């Protein structure tokens, strides 16, 4: 611990704002009850301890003369991860991987280390949570590792920094950032100041030595990475693992990416040998779909450049209470209420005294408005107790006037439905021309929800 007088500082866990006293609302991010108290020494208040060493002076350069080579990206050997990263690992990048405990963060990164080590890349796996024997037992389930894979169980950041400078690996994994500490900062590991300081040191190593760094972050009960929100601002890429830890399927989603799109997702299945890629997510999402059951519709959504067909289920029944119950799983609850109000106002359906439950199967969460038409058709099907054909798919955004608006990349959506064996697709009228170029599937254009209802009969 650093010598000298100590002082009490309050940090905001959301944005890292510092204050000498506790406040209910943070002046920086306007969040409530986010301040935590930490005891630091006076020497820590003068600087963060992450200053550059003497002699390491960076000179300005001409932007147009900076070389960018394709070799700067390294493929991980896992296609779903490469898709989310934007085409592979960028040299000198820093990636934060968050997710619930037991979701598969460490397993995925261990598989990446194995693939890169087999290609001859020097990899260093640093763990502050498990012993070498524990990691070896988990690694044996994945497969054999080459001699380019090195392991270090350490939490002192000064020692870790020295090892990285000596070994000069091409990729470093930190598991996890909340266990790392720096002796110059007189705070407990996992605190706001320690997490911020540790990330700053690792960032300098990544940019200065050209090392690709992956750090694992614990998440809070709200699902965000524990520690200051500035942690997500400092790194280049933020990936979140979603899904139920007791289920077999996992979804990797990029929420920040300086080198690619943030709309891409990767789908994995947890198996005995680790995480396996799901090459066709649409087929997985529609597996087990009931036949001749009312309230079930296939809709097409876009995750980045990938079209995915999902099953939307709706259950509408008369309510036994004065206030009907509404519930939505996998989509926005308020959006479902809005669509039901549109049906009642524009189509004359009496839904005000009905309970309604909407579910998107497969554990995926969709915010895209293109699934509006699918939700509407599922509600209509359940309300009328009439099954929709199993070979029919639909997509389109529904407005407050009941109109069906066009969506982007309609041709790719119809092509995905045709590839999976669907013979009919209901699309917005403005998208009919480009979709009719696809052979083997019947494309029906609708202008409003009333026309969609008339088609169902």
| CATH code of residue 202 | 3.40.50.300
Between residues 386 and 226, the one the model is more confident about: 386
CA dist 79 and 154 (Å) reads 31
What value does the mean pLDDT take over residues 237-244? 86
> Of 279, 311, 338, at which residue does a domain stop?
279
Is the distance from CB of 407 to CB of 428 less than 8 angstroms? Answer: yes
Closest CA to 234 of 208, 180, 198: 198
Between residues 114 and 233, the one the model is more confident about: 114
CA dist 316 and 355 (Å) reads 6
Residues 15 and 107 in one domain: no
Task: Name the pLDDT band for 6 (thresholds 50, 70, 90).
Answer: low
Share of the chain above pLDDT 90, in %: 50
> Of 250, 279, 308, at which residue does a domain stop?
279
Mean pLDDT rounded to a whole number for the chain:
86
**How far out from the chain centre does Cα 164 lie?**
29
Closest CA to 424 of 448, 396, 443: 443
Is residue 148 included in any domain, yes or no? yes
- The total number of structural domains in the chain stands at 3
Residues 40 and 83 in one domain: no
pLDDT digits (tens, 9 = 90+) for 179-210: 998 888 777 787 777 888 899 999 999 999 99
Residue 234 has pLDDT above 60, yes or no: yes
Residues 161 and 174 in one domain: yes
pLDDT digits (tens, 9 = 90+) for 46-96: 444 444 444 456 788 898 888 776 557 899 999 999 999 988 999 999 999
Residues 315 and 268 in one domain: no
pLDDT digits (tens, 9 = 90+) for 407-452: 999 999 999 999 999 999 999 999 999 888 888 999 999 999 999 8
Is residue 78 included in any domain, yes or no? yes
Query: What pTM does this model have?
Result: 0.75
Residues 260 and 405 in one domain: no
Residues 133 and 253 in one domain: yes
Residues 90 and 156 in one domain: yes
Determine the 3-state secondary structure of 293 from DSSP: coil
Residues 213 and 171 in one domain: yes
Q: For position 227, what pLDDT does the model report? A: 61
Residue 145 has pLDDT above 50, yes or no: yes
Residue 246 has pLDDT above 70, yes or no: no
Task: Name the pLDDT band for 389 (thresholds 50, 70, 90).
Answer: confident
Q: For position 278, what pLDDT does the model report? A: 87
Residue 391 has pLDDT above 60, yes or no: yes
Is residue 112 included in any domain, yes or no? yes
Residues 365 and 255 in one domain: no
Q: Which CATH number belongs to the domain containing residue 375 in this structure?
A: 3.30.230.10
- Provide φ and ψ at 268, rounded to 5°: -130, 160
Is residue 54 included in any domain, yes or no? no
Query: DSSP class of residue 28?
Result: T
Would you tell me how many other CB atoms lie within 10 Å of the CB of residue 67? 5
Is residue 51 included in any domain, yes or no? no
Residue 261 has pLDDT above 70, yes or no: yes
Residues 130 and 185 in one domain: yes
CA dist 174 and 167 (Å) reads 15
pLDDT digits (tens, 9 = 90+) for 278-327: 888 888 888 888 888 899 999 999 987 889 999 999 999 998 888 899 99
Is the distance from CB of 279 to CB of 361 less than 8 angstroms? Answer: no
CA dist 1 and 41 (Å) reads 9
Query: DSSP class of residue 454?
Result: H
Residues 233 and 308 in one domain: no
Residues 425 and 297 in one domain: yes
> Of 255, 279, 303, at which residue does a domain stop?
279
Between residues 257 and 196, the one the model is more confident about: 257
Beta bridge partners of 249: 269
Is residue 53 included in any domain, yes or no? no
CA dist 206 and 103 (Å) reads 26
Is residue 56 included in any domain, yes or no? no
Nearby residues of 2 by Cβ (< 8 Å), 6 or more positions away:
41, 43, 44, 183, 184, 185, 186
Which residues span the domain enclosing 424?
284-456
Is residue 429 included in any domain, yes or no? yes
């Amino acid at each position: 611990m650093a010598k000298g007088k100590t002082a009490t500082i309050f940090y905001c866990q959301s944005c890292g704002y510092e204050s000498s006293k506790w406040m209910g609302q943070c002046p920086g991010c306007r969040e409530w009850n986010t301040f935590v108290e930490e005891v630091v020494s006076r020497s820590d208040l003068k600087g963060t301890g992450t200053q550059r060493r003497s002699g390491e002076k960076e000179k300005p350069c001409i932007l147009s003369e900076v070389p960018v080579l394709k070799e700067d990206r390294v493929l991980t050997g896992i296609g779903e991860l490469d898709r989310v990263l934007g085409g592979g690992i960028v040299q000198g990048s820093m990636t934060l991987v968050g997710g619930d405990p037991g979701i598969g963060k460490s397993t995925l990164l261990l598989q990446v280390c194995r693939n890169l080590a087999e290609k001859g890349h020097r990899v260093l796996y640093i763990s502050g949570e498990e012993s070498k024997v524990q990691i070896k037992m988990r690694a044996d389930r994945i497969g054999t590792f080459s001699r380019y894979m090195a392991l270090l169980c350490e939490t002192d950041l000064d020692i870790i920094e020295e090892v990285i400078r000596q070994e000069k690996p091409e990729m470093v994994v930190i598991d996890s950032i909340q266990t790392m500490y720096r002796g110059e900062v007189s705070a407990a590991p996992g605190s706001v100041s320690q997490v911020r300081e540790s990330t700053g040191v690792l960032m300098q190593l990544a940019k200065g030595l050209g090392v690709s760094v992956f750090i694992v972050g614990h998440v809070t009960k709200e699902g965000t990475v524990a520690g200051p929100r500035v942690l997500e601002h400092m790194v280049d890429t933020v990936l979140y693992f979603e899904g139920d830890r007791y289920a077999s399927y996992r979804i990797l989603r990029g929420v920040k990416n300086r080198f690619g799109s943030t709309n891409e997702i990767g789908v994995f299945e947890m198996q005995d040998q680790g995480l396996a890629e799901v090459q066709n997510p649409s087929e997985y999402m529609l597996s087990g779909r009931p036949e001749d059951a009312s309230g079930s519709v296939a809709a097409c959504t876009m995750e980045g450049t990938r079209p995915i067909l999902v099953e939307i289920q709706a259950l509408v029944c008369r309510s036994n209470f004065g206030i009907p119950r509404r519930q939505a799983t996998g989509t926005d609850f308020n959006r479902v209420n809005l669509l039901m109000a549109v049906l009642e106002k524009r189509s004359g359906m009496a839904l005000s005294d009905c309970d309604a439950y909407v579910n998107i199967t497969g554990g995926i969460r969709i915010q895209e408005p293109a699934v509006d038409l699918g939700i509407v058709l599922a509600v209509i099907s359940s309300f009328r107790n009439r099954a929709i054909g199993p070979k029919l798919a639909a997509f389109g955004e529904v407005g407050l006037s009941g109109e069906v608006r066009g969506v982007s990349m309609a041709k790719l959506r119809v092509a995905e439905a045709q590839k999976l064996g669907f013979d009919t697709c209901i699309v917005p009228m403005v998208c009919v021309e480009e979709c009719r170029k696809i052979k083997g599937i019947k494309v029906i254009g609708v202008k409003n929800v009333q026309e969609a209802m008339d088609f169902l009969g």
